[in-house]
Amino acid sequence: MAMHGQTFDEPAMQFADLRQQREAAELGMWGFLTTEVLLFGGLFVAYTIYRTHHPEAFAEASHHLHRSLGTINTALLLGSSLTVALAVRAARVGSRRGTSLFLLLTLMLGGSFLGIKAMEYSAEWSAGLIPGIAFRYEGANAAPVELFFVLYFAMTGLHALHMVAGLGVIAVLLVLSLRRRFSRSWHNPVEMGGLYWHFVDVVWLFLFPLLYLVG
Amino acid sequence: MNIPVTPVRTYLGVAALLMALLILTVVVADLNLGPAGPFVALSIAMVKAGLVATWFMHLRHAAALTRLFALSGVALLAILIGLTLTDYLSRA
């Protein structure tokens, strides 16, 4: 990300032109996202195995999650993907105001998601559904239900960490945008930050049905 | 620089489609389709992911190599899950 000394008209030293620089950045980001797919993929595999072995317990456990909150959260993230796509578009047409506005909206939507997630975690704590440290569950399926919640907290927790990092990136982009660091010719950080944010959204699109909509 | 600028209307249309698919996901979940349930839910999720990748993440306009990178992630994950399942599903 060649920020220092980056002018609006010239590519960084090692690139032939701005187009090549942008394509290199895009390729690099997708390479990173591929590694992220496999990072979450490991947890998805674990989930697949244990759900195959305990289908009824997983359905029973899933019912303890708040489906309506999960649905709202999914809608919030989809909305934030829209706003960040519009931010990238605004950067492409050189609109500083549009870029800043849509980045701010993305921050608000993403922040709302995390707020709801925190509420859910708090409710799960009160209901005694935290594996290991605070797990109070009556019933024959207690063990696989606890397993479900291990996966639930691991997967949504890892996702939430990615969201916090993503919001940090968006916040930095917002500040840079307000400081006139981006132009029609060069706004790669906005593009790449957008790609990262979309990825975080896509992960949730799979987490939601697998965790909230079982049975 | 010639980056294609997608019209706002297109982004809004894709977003509307994504919301509609979200509603469909929840409705289908309540229908209780038995063993087909997870497949339907995941298929819808894959369509949503495809829409986000193609239109929001601009794979539509990306270089061929970039698209290859993107697809390789999915392919590798499919191999990871698929081969793992050949083991677990074939156990007694």
Q: What is the pLDDT of residues A125-171, one digit of tens each?
A: 999 999 999 899 988 999 999 999 999 999 999 999 999 999 999 99
State whether the Cα torsion B65-B67-B70-B72 is positive or negative. negative
- Within 8 A of A195 by CB-CB distance, chain B residues are 57
Q: Where are the alpha helices (DSSP H) in A139-186?
A: 142-178
Distance, C-alpha A49 to centroid of its chain: 24
Task: Determine contact, residues A176/A182, Cβ cutoff 8 Å.
Answer: yes
Q: What angle do CA A190, A193, A197 make, to 5 degrees?
A: 130
Residue B34 pLDDT exceeds 90: no
**CB within 8 Å: B22 and A209:** no
Q: How many C-beta atoms lie closer than 10 Å to residue B73's C-beta? A: 19
Q: How many C-beta atoms lie closer than 10 Å to residue A65's C-beta? A: 21
- Within 8 A of B22 by CB-CB distance, chain A residues are 71, 74-75, 78
Confidence band, pLDDT 50/70/90 cuts, at residue A118: very high
Distance, C-alpha A163 to centroid of its chain: 4
Question: Closest Cα to residue A193, out of A118, A107, A79?
Answer: A107
Question: Does the model's pTM come out above 0.95?
Answer: no
**CB within 8 Å: B88 and A18:** no
Q: Which two tokens stand for residue A202?
A: 């896509």
Which residue is listed with tokens 């032939």? A16
Q: What is the pLDDT of residues B39-60, one digit of tens each?
A: 899 999 999 999 999 999 999 9
- Within 8 A of A49 by CB-CB distance, chain B residues are 84, 88
